[in-house]
Chains A and B, each alone.
Chain A
Amino acid sequence: MKRIFTIKVKTKIFLNLCLLSILTTFVYAQESEYILNIKTEEAKEKSPLTFIIDLISTENISSIELAYKFSNQTDFKEIELQILGTTATVTIPADEVKPPILEYYFILNLKDGSVKTYPPNVESNNSALQLAISSIERQKEDIMILSPSENEIVTPADLLISISFIKAGENIDINKTKILLNQVDITQHSLNANDLIVISGQNIKNLKYGPAKIEIQLYDKDANLYGTLTRNIQIITPQKAEEITKKWNFGGSIKAESRNESFNKTSTWYNNLSAEARATSGNFLFSGQLYVTSEEKRYLQPYNRYTFTIRNGDLFTLQVGDSYPQFSDLIMNGKRVRGINGSLNLGIINLSATYGEITRKVEGSLLETFLKNQAPLAYDVIPINESKYNYPYGRVKLGTYSRKIFAVRPSFGSGENFQLGFSYLHSKDDPNSVEFAARPQENAVIGTDLMLALDQQNVVFKSQAAFSIFNKNISPGTLSDSQIDSIFGQGKAFDIDPENIKRIKKLLGKIITVNQYIGPLNPQKLASFAGEATLNINYFNNTVNATYIYRGNDYTSFGQNFIRTDVKGFNISDRIRMFNNQFFFTIGYEKLEDNLQKTKIATTTYETFNTTASLFLRANFPSITIGYTKYKNNNGINFSDSIYNNYIVNDVTNRLSLLLAYDIRLGVRHNTSLSLTTQKREDNSLLNMDASYNSISFSVNSYWANNLTSIFQLLYNSTEIANSQYEYFTITAGTKYRLFENRLLLSATLSPSFGDFDRQALEIVADYNLIRNLNIAFQTRILRFPGKSTNSFIGLVTRYVL
């Protein structure tokens, strides 16, 4: 049916508007008896596209239809608008919206039966309106808005508009790009640098607070509109920004695991649950962590963990439950404490303190009883409650006393350029905590530490020193003066001047139990002293590090179990960067010796020399690391020394390693690496435990697709100790595959070993994202030792993240 077109048109305006409608997606209008203006949102591929029409009057309008077609369509499709008052709206469904151009016009069915179009005479003039549809892929791949992100909330000072053309096609003319903020052209404030355009909010005057829309119009080299990118942001005042940070945010996660291990026909189930919850407001953090496991047994030290934390940035921290306080390295670092731990950092003055239990009481058991004169001298025969057990002595399975710790460290200075700290630690077993145990102990440590940095930390000096007192058995309690006189002195149990002991008691009696088991009794020999100093200098691409350490053989801190004692010496190293951080060279030397208090037959000197060169070109060339290390240990005892030659320490070990890594693009990217290590130890002691070790490893990690990776590895190992050889070869092949839009991860690894070590290992993991934030994972590992046994580990893990 032929329609009748009667709307008057001002052709010039109409053509301009048609052009504008192609360029952008803003409001436009055309002179019409019925339509005031038409609004659309930004037209994006696969996004619903809504038209809102403001009508002058609906008095004569019966209905309105939108006729539209996309570039690849031949016929217009019609859809009726919904008229509410003087507004008519219609939405083209998302799955229909396709780039690059939408052609459309409106059909107005009037109450008198006539039909008009907008724009008029569309069919005869072939002058439908056009709208550019942004391609998701094209915009995503080609041109990126690095900043701001969608719906970002920024203050004017923080506003950065940055567009990257790194991946843009050659047809794009970067210099023609227009940037509009709330429809105002701000392109003149932009800085163009090859593939990047930036505008800083600080350069835009009179930025208005509130919602803002950034439009970026992209043009090709023929000045045709290529596409439009938009960002919606909120510009807020600094005060408002502060209010936003005070909002409460909550988060957390929960993870449960059930695992069965079948090893040598013994089947064991392990069930674990870990949960974490946190709430933040401004700089306040409230968090709780919980770990509960079936491995928790009352006769073992705790496996369960729970911690509740309150923090306010760096200002203060308070932890209740299990924590790992960090004081001076020599005194306390990384030891678990169940109790309370906190710190207050004001910069000029700071305070850290902790109090709690580091060892849980575990009750022993009575195995056998003795009369006083029949009790043998043995470590596990102890006095017992005679009224309860009818015998004064018993052989017991020794339990463990509850051990409490208290540590405090006031410090001065922020630690940026200066900090001076003083530490005090006291720890004691509770003799009444269990019935069957022996030799409760007590420990006190005092220490100081200093940090000094100059020239923006290019020169850093750190030092720490600590002195410990250790009582190996506090069960007798503190001795009275008369007891001291009866035990200490010439010809008595301890040939030490009793007056010295009384002085120690007077000095330390309020800190620690003073009796015959306390040490050191000769503090001037520094047996319980530990100290170290480190100087780090960083200039001219050199990092020089020099350290001196001294740790007496009796130095003990219950807060630090892993410190090596009876050692002194130094190490010095230099790490050099060259060729624009593409070549690294390290050289170091360390010399340590023991027997500080002459408690051993001879003094052993431990020398280590190492050097490493690494080449990491930022080009298509293998990265290469070559390392050489020489260990030399000698205690100076000769073969000719017939009394002590069994104690000879005299060995030299040379170790050479080479690591090559290379990215190969053979269809896809493959990370390859080759590692060679050879080590030879020459033992010149009577044992003659000469040893050699050789290892070759080659691996390829391949990235076949974003959801498919694989690993292949060959490993050869050969060890020979005192002419006894052990040699094996391992092949590992594995793959990881993600499917169902990355919701399911499947991985499998097969790893058979041959030779002296004969084993076949298979591991399969399936991790499925069941619903949003909830994952369930199944893991199984089978280890088969041919001719011996087959062991399996099967586990099921669920985790939920809030």
Chain B
Amino acid sequence: MRTNLFLLILVSYFSLTLVLKSEDIKSIGAEATANSPVAVVKKVFKDVDYRKSSQQSDWQKASVGLILNDGNEVKTGSKSLALILFTDGTGLLRVRENSILHIYGEKKQQRLDKNTFIQKGLISFDVNKLSENEEFKFTTPTVVASIRGTSGFLEYTEDSTFTMSLDSGSAHLSFLGPQGGEGILQEGNTVVITNDGNFQFRAQSPEDINKANDSKKTTIKKVIIKTQRGNIEIEYYSSEE
């Protein structure tokens, strides 16, 4: 009985969505403009590389003004940073050290449908309040986050732990892990989702706030500590002006 109910609901849902979206589905790709620039690199520090797609084996050095198209990837090395602006003016991403970010976008009429895939690392973001028909998506192997008018940071570590912390706005989260599920993260809160699908929502701790503030720093400074055996150079990020 319940199996039949499940199947009925499933079929109904698909039918409904397909009927409602039949026009849109027909238009997939029809409006798309090939090679529309999706983003531009505003700032680089130290080791920032890019490649046009995962099929390309070699990475190339990224520089200020580099134009990023659909499918391009940006990789940062140790103590490195890249600032990325989306071409529709909707957002700024700060790609922190040891991160790999994939950028996707498709221009449809005068709208840019944007998506990013964060393979690993920490991304700090400031996304403007979009119109009601727009949203910005971050995809990771375990979570998809849709945001509108949001600032904060998102981290995906090598052990598949997803962390998102919001200073402002809200995010709609879909969990891809074995537990599945959805949730809404509100400003001033943090969510941590482990690789086994367990998640914890909490108010931003002082550590989260400090991490969020740190992730916004984009000015690089250097101090030199003089020792008897030579100088130790320490480079660090300072506040954005």
Question: Residues on A close to B: CB < 8 A?
Answer: 144, 146-147, 153, 157-158, 160, 162, 164, 166-168, 191, 193-196, 198-202, 241-242, 244-245, 249, 276, 280, 282-283, 285, 287, 289, 307, 309, 311-315, 324, 346-347, 414, 416, 456-457, 460, 534, 536, 538, 541, 543, 545, 573, 575, 577, 580-581, 584, 586, 588, 610-612, 614, 616, 618-623, 625, 627-629, 655, 657-666, 668-669, 671-678, 694, 696, 698-699, 701, 703-706, 718
Contact = CB atoms under 8 A, between A and B. Distances in A.
Nearest to B110: A167
A675 B241 contact: no
A59 to B, nearest CB: 50
Q: Which 7 residue pairs spanning A and B have beta carbons closest together?
A: A313-B236, A200-B65, A703-B132, A144-B89, A610-B178, A581-B117, A196-B37
Nearest to B7: A676
Contact of B210 (A193, A311, A666, A705): A311
Contact of A696 (B6, B20, B24, B65): B6
B120 to A, nearest CB: 7
B17 A662 contact: yes
A577 B141 CA distance: 7
Contacts of A665: 24, 133
Nearest to B43: A158
Given A283-B221, A311-B210, A619-B28, A661 B182 contact: yes
Q: Name, among A162, A668, A676, the residue most crowded by chain B CB atoms within 10 Å (CB to CB).
A: A162
27 contacts: A144-B89, A146-B42, A146-B85, A160-B40, A191-B67, A195-B33, A196-B37, A202-B63, A280-B239, A311-B210, A313-B238, A315-B234, A347-B234, A575-B142, A575-B160, A580-B71, A586-B176, A586-B178, A620-B28, A623-B174, A657-B179, A660-B10, A660-B13, A673-B174, A675-B180, A676-B10, A678-B2
A172 to B, nearest CB: 11
Given A307-B206, A457-B98, A627-B179, A616 B37 contact: no
B135 to A, nearest CB: 8
B36 A706 contact: no
Contact of B65 (A160, A623, A673, A706): A160
Nearest to A251: B213
Contact of A324 (B85, B106, B120, B207): B207
A616 B146 CA distance: 13
Contacts of B238: 245, 282-283, 313
A704 B132 contact: yes
Contacts of B148: 703
Interface in B183-228: 195-196, 205-207, 209-210, 213, 219, 221, 223
Contacts of B144: 616, 623
A704 B54 CA distance: 38
Contact of B64 (A202, A313, A541): A202
Given A147-B85, A666-B20, A283 B13 contact: no
B89 A200 contact: no
A192 B115 CA distance: 23
A659 B180 contact: yes
Most chain B beta-carbon contacts within 10 A, residue among A195, A416, A545, A677: A195
B227 to A, nearest CB: 10
A658 B9 CA distance: 12
Given A195-B107, A324-B205, A575-B141, A586 B40 contact: no
B174 A659 contact: yes
Given A158-B64, A276-B209, A669-B135, 5 more contacts: A166-B87, A538-B120, A581-B104, A586-B178, A658-B10
A143 B203 CA distance: 39
B110 A622 contact: no
Given A146-B89, A166-B88, A616-B139, A671 B146 contact: yes
Contacts of A311: 210
B57 to A, nearest CB: 11
B81 interface: no
B169 interface: no
Given A313-B237, A586-B177, A673-B182, A622 B64 contact: no
Contacts of B14: 622, 660
Interface in B96-124: 98, 102, 104, 106-107, 110-113, 115, 117, 119-120
Interface of B: 2, 5-6, 9-10, 13-14, 17, 20-21, 24-25, 27-28, 33, 35-37, 40, 42-43, 53-54, 63-65, 67, 71, 77-78, 85, 87-89, 98, 102, 104, 106-107, 110-113, 115, 117, 119-120, 129, 131-133, 135, 139, 141-142, 144, 146, 148, 158-160, 172, 174, 176-182, 195-196, 205-207, 209-210, 213, 219, 221, 223, 232, 234, 236-239, 241
Given A621-B25, A625-B174, A706-B132, A160 B42 contact: yes
Given A144-B89, A198-B40, A307-B206, A677 B180 contact: yes
A664 B139 contact: no
Contact of B36 (A168, A195, A581, A705): A195
Nearest to B121: A457
Contacts of A168: 110
Contacts of A628: 178
Contacts of A457: 98, 120, 158
A194 B35 contact: yes
A244 B241 contact: yes
B174 A166 contact: no
A742 to B, nearest CB: 9
B61 to A, nearest CB: 13
B233 to A, nearest CB: 10
B58 to A, nearest CB: 14
A497 B219 CA distance: 65
Contacts of B107: 166, 195
A580 to B, nearest CB: 7
Contacts of A658: 10, 180
A511 to B, nearest CB: 30
